[in-house]
Amino acid sequence: MLTKGDFVSRVINGLNSLNKDQRISRRYILHVGQNIVRDFLGKRITEGLLLKDLNIVTNIDCLEMVSFDTVKCDIIEFKRCKSLMRSKCKLPELFGSMFGASIISVTSLDDMTEFKPITLKQFRRNVEREEIKDLYEYYVKDNYLYLPNSSVRRVNVELITLYPEDVMSCGKDENDCTDVYETEFIVPSKFIDNVVKATIQEVAFKKQIPTDENPNLDSQT
């Protein structure tokens, strides 16, 4: 596992080989690196490319769902639901895209039932046609997972995110002292070297440090 600390150290070593006197914050380097990965993965998701083989899928087992008052729900379409479940905690930051906001699957704990993504337009149409019986669907708003007309209290979720630690922090004290640099730096394994080089390139450009030519992230595809 490549930790955020490992990634930052590799970038710092690369920058030091260019200019040992330049001091750049670790937080800034991590921010640049994550933005590079975000742009790269966002493009590939939008293109509909499969990412399961890139070792970046986060599995959230047994995600807790809680009953949510349909009267208080700000999603008008769900106010008519017989029951409504919402994830107790927000999902980590997702990639918004036409391919399901980077959610790969939502299933029951035994993996026998799969919930399908649905738009509010589709949900309205199903309600009008009275086609809500035995439908297993999910919807995401503000990074909360919703299960309309369901009473399922826990689900398994597969998704793509750069911040898998966010969901793991659910229920923890806000002052929890987990070191962010000890958590995983999410990046397809075969692109690690290129992401390091691209980060060095961008940081050096912003700090006006001479570097070699731009690395091509797609060169190994």
Whether 62 and 137 map to the same domain: the answer is yes
Q: Check residue 206 and give its pLDDT.
A: 83
Whether 13 and 109 map to the same domain: the answer is no
Q: Check residue 57 and give its pLDDT.
A: 84
Whether 41 and 128 map to the same domain: the answer is no
b/e per residue, 116-141, with b = 16+ CB within 10 A? eebeeeebeebbeeeeeeeebbbbbe
Whether 43 and 139 map to the same domain: the answer is no
Domain count, the chain: 2
Threshold 0.85, pTM exceeds: no
Residue 175 falls inside a structural domain:
no
Whether 35 and 116 map to the same domain: the answer is no
- Which residue, among 10, 42, 43, has the nearest Cα to 200 in the 3D structure? 10
Q: Check residue 110 and give its pLDDT.
A: 87
Whether 92 and 151 map to the same domain: the answer is yes
Whether 140 and 67 map to the same domain: the answer is yes
Whether 135 and 99 map to the same domain: the answer is yes
Residue 177 falls inside a structural domain:
no
Flag residues of the chain having pLDDT under 50.
Answer: 221
What percentage of the chain's residues is helix, strand, coil (to nearest 5)? Answer: 35, 20, 45
Range of the domain at 37: 4-54+187-220
Q: Check residue 11 and give its pLDDT.
A: 94
What the block records as the tokens of 71 is 């009267």
Residue 98 falls inside a structural domain:
yes
Q: How far is CA 19 from the centre of its chain?
A: 34
Whether 35 and 89 map to the same domain: the answer is no
Q: Taking the alpha carbons of 125, 127, 130, 131 in that order, is the dihedral positive or negative? A: positive
Whether 137 and 76 map to the same domain: the answer is yes
Whether 48 and 110 map to the same domain: the answer is no
Residue 110 falls inside a structural domain:
yes
Residue 45 falls inside a structural domain:
yes
Residue 173 falls inside a structural domain:
no
Residue 70 falls inside a structural domain:
yes
Q: Check residue 221 and give its pLDDT.
A: 46
Q: Check residue 18 and give its pLDDT.
A: 75
Whether 41 and 63 map to the same domain: the answer is no
Residue 176 falls inside a structural domain:
no
